[in-house]
């Protein structure tokens, strides 16, 4: 397989979601709301799940998963096993500047899937997160005989709230999320509420700790 060239520094991560792109994140423990990216951010390297502050921004184009936050765009690759009839349980993933020749990505609802005709999988949306937060294709059953040192995950697209939070209730149970530009706050009863703008103009409340 082609391995990515190491890079010394990352590319700044945009805080505004580009039109047509999504953040991709896990929604279950132990990687709850960890986001797809590379480290350093937005340069060729191993695909990992990590902080929302350095998340990539992704779109699927003709079966390719593309990080649109990088310049040039980066494409997600999946390791091609020598024995496709009996592949290893984990297939490595990484980002390169060239298109991947192996398999295709797709959305299944908001879940990110990967498939290829030559590798049979029980669940095309099954992933594994292993050492150093590296993301792998899971070629086996989800949450069954999980390899040591790994955690089963699914990963999903996300286009809503992400970023700095601010409590706005007496119980602190709801927070307002800044994704782009903060405007002056207005008073609502006893509380100060931030008015936010989004890539697709809207105002939205998000669950507490919803980064």
Do 114 and 197 lie in one domain? The reply is: no
Q: Look at the chain and report how many structural domains it folds into.
A: 2
Phi, psi of 18 (to 5 degrees): -70, 150
* Residue 150, domain CATH: 2.80.10
What pLDDT does residue 4 have?
A: 52
Do 47 and 147 lie in one domain? The reply is: yes
Do 64 and 137 lie in one domain? The reply is: yes
Do 181 and 148 lie in one domain? The reply is: no
Do 41 and 59 lie in one domain? The reply is: yes
Domain span holding position 193:
165-207
Do 89 and 140 lie in one domain? The reply is: yes
Percentage of the chain beyond pLDDT 90 is 65
For the segment 180-185, the average pLDDT, to the nearest whole number, is 36
Within a domain: residue 31? yes
pLDDT tier at 159 (50, 70, 90 boundaries)?
confident
What pLDDT does residue 76 have?
A: 98
CA–CA separation, 170 and 178 (whole Å): 20
Lowest mean pLDDT among 22-36, 59-73, 110-124, 168-182: 168-182
Tracing tokens 């390297």 back to the chain, one arrives at 45
Do 40 and 83 lie in one domain? The reply is: yes
Q: What is the mean pLDDT of the chain?
A: 79
pTM: 0.75
What pLDDT does residue 47 have?
A: 98
CA–CA separation, 95 and 5 (whole Å): 10
Within a domain: residue 186? yes
Do 154 and 173 lie in one domain? The reply is: no
Do 130 and 172 lie in one domain? The reply is: no
Within a domain: residue 11? no
Do 81 and 97 lie in one domain? The reply is: yes
What pLDDT does residue 2 have?
A: 54
Of 87, 166, 69, 70, give the one whose Cα is nearest residue 78: 87
């Amino acid at each position: 397989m082609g391995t990515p060239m190491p890079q010394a520094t990352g590319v700044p991560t945009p805080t505004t979601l580009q039109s047509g792109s999504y953040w991709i994140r896990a929604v279950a423990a132990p990687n709850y709301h960890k986001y797809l990216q590379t480290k350093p951010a937005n340069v060729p390297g191993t695909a990992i799940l990590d902080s929302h502050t350095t998340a990539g921004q992704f779109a699927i184009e003709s079966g390719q998963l593309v990080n649109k936050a990088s310049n040039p765009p980066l494409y997600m690759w999946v390791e091609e096993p020598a024995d496709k009839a009996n592949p290893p349980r984990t297939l490595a993933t990484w980002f390169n500047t060239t298109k991947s020749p192996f398999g295709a990505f797709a959305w299944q609802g908001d879940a990110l899937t990967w498939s290829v005709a030559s590798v049979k999988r029980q669940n095309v949306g099954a992933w594994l997160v292993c050492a150093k937060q590296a993301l792998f294709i899971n070629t086996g059953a989800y949450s069954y005989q999980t390899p040591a040192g790994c955690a089963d995950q699914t990963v999903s697209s996300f286009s809503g709230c992400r970023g700095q939070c601010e409590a706005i209730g007496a119980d602190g149970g709801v927070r307002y999320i800044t994704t782009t530009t903060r405007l002056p706050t207005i008073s609502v009863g006893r509380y100060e509420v931030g008015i936010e703008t989004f890539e697709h103009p809207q105002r939205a409340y998000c669950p507490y700790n919803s980064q």
